[in-house]
Amino acid sequence: MIGRLNHVAIAVPDLEKATARYHVTLGAEVSEPQPLPDHGVTVVFVQLDNTKIELLHPLGENSPIAAFLARHPDGGIHHLCFEVSDLADAAAKLVATGARVLGDGKPRIGAHGLPVLFLHPKDFDGTLIELEEVKPEMQPA
């Protein structure tokens, strides 16, 4: 069911410093900061040869990562995002096995403009998992 690891999301307390760590210290290609007010985060994309790191910093009130950073002031890995080709089918299979889909259980539009849902970390070894619907024709060669 799951295909590519789309990204690893890391919540960071200082976006400028975190970007410099990946760009200057580790020598990776990084994007400009991209504010996503609808999602309550500013994101910097770190492009690796086979996947991406997304550095997330809270934006505005009620940011979904503010509580996480309050618990982890140094920052930390927030979630893993796996690609699936059919999110409704994936959700139905997951619910049938007892896995809990967060929120109302319905896909919503994620930060990349594609349907996503999140699975409860208690059901996956303390790991918050995002599933993103990426059609095969959208995948990199």
Catalytic residue numbers, as ranges: 130
Beta-carbon contacts of 138 under 8 Å, excluding residues fewer than 6 positions away, are: none
Among 31, 36, 72, 85, binds its own copies (CB under 8 A): 72
C-alpha distances (whole Å) from 130 to each of 24, 25, 37, 57, 87 are 29, 28, 19, 18, 11
User: What single-letter amino acid sits at 74?
Assistant: D
By the rule CB under 8 A, 50 interacts with its own copies:
yes
Distance in Å, CB of 108 to its own copies, minimum: 20
By the rule CB under 8 A, 82 interacts with its own copies:
yes
By the rule CB under 8 A, 105 interacts with its own copies:
no
- End-to-end, the C-alpha distance of the chain in Å comes to 19
By the rule CB under 8 A, 66 interacts with its own copies:
no
Instruction: Find the helix or strand (DSSP H, E) in which 19 lies.
Output: helix 15-20
Distance in Å, CB of 104 to its own copies, minimum: 20
The structure tokens listed for 72 are 């982890």
State the residues that interact with its own copies by CB under 8 A.
1-5, 8, 10-13, 18, 21, 24-28, 48-51, 53, 55, 72, 74-77, 80, 82-83, 93-94, 97, 99, 121-127
